[in-house]
Chain A
Amino acid sequence: MFAQSVIARGAAPFCLALLLVTVPLPWDSAIAQHPTGHHADADTTTLSWRMPSMPGMSLMMLPGMAEYRPDITPFLPGLGLDPMNLPRARPREVATLGEGDTLHLRSALVRRTILGKTFTMYGFNGQYPGPLIRVMQNTTIVVDFTNDIELPTTIHWHGVRLDNRFDGVPGVTQDLVPPGGRFVYQVHFPDAGVYWYHPHHREDIQQELGLYGNMLVDPGDSTYYSLVHREEILMLDDLLLQEGGIAPFGLETSNHTLMGRFGNVFLVNGEPTYQLSVDRGEVVRFFLTNVSNTRMYNLQVGGARVKAIAGDIGKFEREAWVPSVVLAPAERYVVEARFDQPGTYALTNRVQALNHLLGEFYGKVDTLGTIRVSDRSAVPDYGVSFDQLRANTDVAADIARYRPHFSRSPDFELDLTIRVGQLPQGMIQYMSIDTTYFPPVEWNDAMPMMNWFTNGTNIEWLLRDARSGAENMDIAWHLPVGEVTKIRLRNDEDAFHPMSHPIHLHGQRFLVVERDGRPNPNLVWKETVLVPVGSTIDLLVDVSNPGKWMLHCHIAEHLEAGMRMIMTVEDQSR
């Protein structure tokens, strides 16, 4: 069975009406010429499928496939509304909250200007990203949420080990919040670190259009982190634009289902150019979150020395110098950088991209921002402490309690694979001759035409229980609170189109103890792990939180195409 759309469930009649008529778009059709030639004759004044261009792809269209379009309805939120009548979004604000405080959060259409063009997008409280929620560890807050977008939604508090009732998974922990509806969340923060909130319904649309925000949980222990001069909280995103505006989404289900929706404009905290000015010798702690639908990052901070401090849910056993910071979708990392010399440091994403059509790799560098370092010396001088790599004995001691479980056999095994439905024969042929090699990690949209065409009606991504054969939401795992369980994830390299998957487990924490039989030398508590193609990863889960918890791929389009399951944790003391 292929995943069926749920987008229209609960959608306002207003929304559907917009989709059933041809509505002039508020952009200039004079820029309709497609740089790669295909689909250049499409009418850009109406909502239709036109494949967006991808940088670096000089020859994208396979012969005989020029007429293929996703066989679902194109959709753009707010279509037909004049964005000038929408409130202009503003940069995010910090919401510092104490125990029991309430944050009123509202999702709504906003007007955004990116690279000189105006777009209709979404925002929480009219901000991009959403408000930065700052709390102390072990605080509980209330979030009174109102949904004023035309789609139903929920909010998921990613990485937070909170009460299951407030996890924000529609159909599992709550009903969808319809347009105009409201839901009150209680969010408790047991762990220090950086987390994020986002919709858990049609993320491929809602997250892409700006519905995300960070939560920074300050540790109770003032020595938890080293002393730094400043903290920067960055959300890394990419937005897919085409001539005239935002590339349409699928109404019934997502398209870009093979590889996920890669953007062609990078955004840091919602802006295409990140700017920071610091003094010479300044030490900056960066809290990084990858909120992209599917893109991986290999982030470099100019020539600055960078050390890895913490991951999704806490610090590493040992800090480590790193040449770059690698982030899969939904992952967070905390790193510290020192800017020793005056000048300009570029914040770049450097990857080895792949063009499947030409069978070639190519280096690709995108500049996300700049850090300008003045001649003035930073005061005080944290150079000595920065030069030290901490060994976090508290983290190591915590993890030591789980080491007896490291070598045991897995309790559960999941295969990550795909089922392909009705695709055009030409596409099947091309893909079948393209199976000689798939890279362990996908850094770019290496086959953009095929990817754009595929959708939830012809592609189903699968989690398959290796022992029962059950798939996705038919998998039934039950565990008692207090258990330590080992889950083995295998990314099937023999699948029709294998791809790396960032697998996220809600409401719990885990250790990545092994990859391909080799132990992880520097552990950290996490809840999202990248599983490269062909790799086998063993997770040790600290089953501490009762409830029905989703495990899924955090590529938004893979989640929409079915790649999700539930792990039920039972509190047997109740």
Chain B
Amino acid sequence: MRTAGRSPQTIGFFGLFAVALVSGPVGHEPDPPEIYRFDLVATARAPGAIGTGLLNLAWSPFGVAVSADGFLVYDLALTVERVIEPQRLGPFTTYVAWIATPSLDKIEKLGFLSAAGKLETQIASWNKFIVLVTAEASTDVERRTGPVVLQGRSPSGFIASFQSHELFNLMPH
């Protein structure tokens, strides 16, 4: 996974979060298809916060970019709004985004959110995943320790086994 936007960039951070707090809804262009977007949903620690994740298939000479192991490579753009200043949640200075498997057995840092509440990065080793946004003490943290303020699930995360569906049991065997 290649990440971007990890360098410290704290000037005006809180003020711009405050600006984001009063800005309009996320996104002003037509929504991309559902398989290329997901919502970030606020937890009880950040009521009113909203966010989106946009997935764009990355370019390669062959059109869609695919990793050596066969994962589609996505340019991921996260946008959050209406998030309170992180220090109001405790000894925190910034918000950091993480990507994890649905079972949480694997988690990686995506990067920190800019003052405008944005993060653009590239992901290349995930099929189903969740995204967590946490308040953290520093942009340099390598492990998640702060509270989760937003969470979202990739569109691929919604496919589930047929076996658990009621129809599966109703059909004659």
Task: Give the shortest distance, in Å, between B30 (CB) and chain A (any CB).
Answer: 10
Find chain B residues with CB under 8 A from A516 CB: 32, 36, 56-57
Cβ-defined contact, B61 with A308, below 8 A: yes
Residues of B contacting A443 with CB < 8 Å? 70
Is the pair A441, B61 in contact by a Cβ cutoff of 8 Å?
A: no
Contact check, B69 vs A359: say whether CB atoms are below 8 A apart: no
Are A493 and B35 closer than 8 Å at their CB atoms?
yes
A311 at interface, CB cutoff 8 A: yes
Residues from chain B with a CB closer than 8 A to the CB of A515 are: 57, 59, 63
Most chain A C-beta atoms within 10 Å of own C-beta, residue among B62, B158, B163, B173: B62
CA A370 – CA B57 in complex, angstroms?
31
Give bound CA distance, A357 to B67, whole Å.
Answer: 25
Given contacts A323-B68, A352-B69, A437-B156, contact A534 B35 (CB under 8 A): yes
A324 near B68: Cβ-Cβ < 8 Å: yes
- 8 Å CB contacts to A: which residues of B145-173? 155-156, 158-163, 165, 167-168, 171-173
Name the segment of A22-30, A277-285, A325-333 touching the other chain: A325-333
Minimum CB distance partner of A516 in chain B: B56
Residues of A within 8 A of B68 (CB): 300, 323-324, 350
Interface pair B162/A62, CB less than 8 Å apart: yes
| Bound form: Cα–Cα A272–B142 in Å | 46
**Residues of the B chain whose Cβ atoms lie less than 8 Å from the Cβ of A439:** 35, 72, 156
Residue pair B159, A437 in contact (C-beta under 8 Å): yes
- CB-defined contacts of B65 to chain A, threshold 8 Å: 326
Tell whether A437 pairs with B59 under 8 Å between CB atoms, given A323-B67, A350-B69, A361-B128.
no
Which residues of chain A are near B64, meaning CB under 8 Å?
A: 326, 440-441, 530, 532
What 1/0 flags go to A335-361 for Cβ under 8 Å of B? Answer: 000000000000000111010111111
Please indicate the chain B residues that have their CB under 8 angstroms from the CB of A48 in the complex.
none
Residues of chain A within 8 A of B167, CB atoms compared: 429-430, 433
Q: Is the CB of B171 within 8 A of A426?
A: yes
Do A352 and B59 touch across chains, with their CB atoms under 8 A apart? no
Contact A359 B159 (CB under 8 A): yes
How many residues of A are counted as interface, with CB atoms below 8 angstroms from the partner's CB atoms? Answer: 58
In contact, A359 and B162 (Cβ under 8 angstroms)? yes
Contacts A437-B35, A443-B70: A357 and B63 contacting too (C-beta < 8 A)? no
Q: Is A470 an interface residue (CB 8 A)?
A: no
Q: Are A522 and B61 in contact (CB under 8 A)?
A: yes
Q: A323–B58 Cα gap in the complex (Å)?
A: 14
Q: Specify the chain B residue showing the minimal Cβ separation from A432.
A: B167
In the bound complex, what is the Cα–Cα distance between A368 and B32 (angstroms)? 37
Instruction: List residues of chain B with CB within 8 A of the CB of A325.
Output: 62
Q: How far is the CB of A157 from chain B (nearest CB, A)?
A: 23
- Tell which of B57, B61, B155, B160 touches A311, judged by Cβ atoms closer than 8 Å: B61
Which residues of chain A have C-beta atoms less than 8 A from B71's C-beta? 352
Instruction: Judge whether A529 is part of the interface by a CB distance below 8 angstroms.
Output: yes
Contact B62 A333 (CB under 8 A): yes
- With A326-B64, A352-B70, A430-B167 as given contacts, are A518 and B162 in contact (CB-CB < 8 Å)? no
**Minimum Cβ distance to chain B for residue A69 (Å):** 17
B173 to chain A: closest residue by CB: A63
In the complex the two chains form, is B162's CB within 8 Å of A529's CB?
A: no
Other-chain residue from A62, A326, A328, A426 in contact with B60 (beta carbon distance below 8 A): A326
Do B61 and A437 touch across chains, with their CB atoms under 8 A apart?
no
State the CA gap A105–B163 with chains docked (Å): 52
Which residues of B62-109 have CB atoms within 8 Å of chain A's CB atoms?
A: 62-72
For A308, list chain B residues within 8 Å (CB): 61-62
Most buried by B among A63, A512, A529: A63
The answer on a CB contact under 8 Å between B63 and A326 is: yes
The reply to whether A359 and B160 form a contact with Cβ atoms under 8 Å apart is yes
Whole-angstrom distance between the Cβ of A560 and the nearest chain B Cβ:
24
Cβ distance A486 to chain B, nearest Cβ, rounded Å = 18
| Contact A357 B161, beta carbon cutoff 8 Å | yes
Given contacts A62-B168, A493-B35, A534-B36, contact A521 B59 (CB under 8 A): yes
Chain B contacts for A324, CB-based, 8 A: 66-68, 70
Let me know if B66 and A326 touch, CB within 8 A: yes
A171 contacts across to B, CB distance below 8 A = none
- A535: nearest residue on chain B (CB-CB)? B57
B70 and A363 contact, CB distance less than 8 A: yes
For A300, what are the chain B residues with a Cβ–Cβ distance below 8 Å? 68
Pairs A–B under 8 Å by Cβ, sample size 30: A62-B162, A62-B168, A63-B168, A64-B171, A64-B173, A65-B171, A308-B61, A320-B60, A320-B61, A322-B61, A324-B67, A324-B70, A350-B68, A350-B69, A354-B159, A358-B163, A426-B171, A433-B165, A434-B162, A436-B158, A437-B156, A440-B36, A493-B35, A516-B56, A516-B57, A518-B59, A520-B59, A532-B57, A532-B64, A533-B35
Excluding A359-B160, A516-B36, 15 further A-B contacts by CB distance (< 8 Å) are A316-B61, A333-B62, A350-B70, A352-B69, A352-B71, A356-B162, A357-B161, A358-B161, A364-B70, A440-B72, A516-B57, A522-B59, A524-B61, A530-B63, A532-B57
Residues of A that sit less than 8 Å from B by CB: 62-65, 298, 300, 308, 311, 316, 320, 322-328, 331, 333, 350-352, 354, 356-361, 363-364, 426, 429-430, 433-434, 436-441, 443, 493, 512, 515-516, 518, 520-522, 524, 529-530, 532-535
A-B pairs, top 7 by smallest CB distance, nearest first, are A534-B33, A64-B171, A361-B127, A326-B62, A351-B70, A308-B61, A323-B68
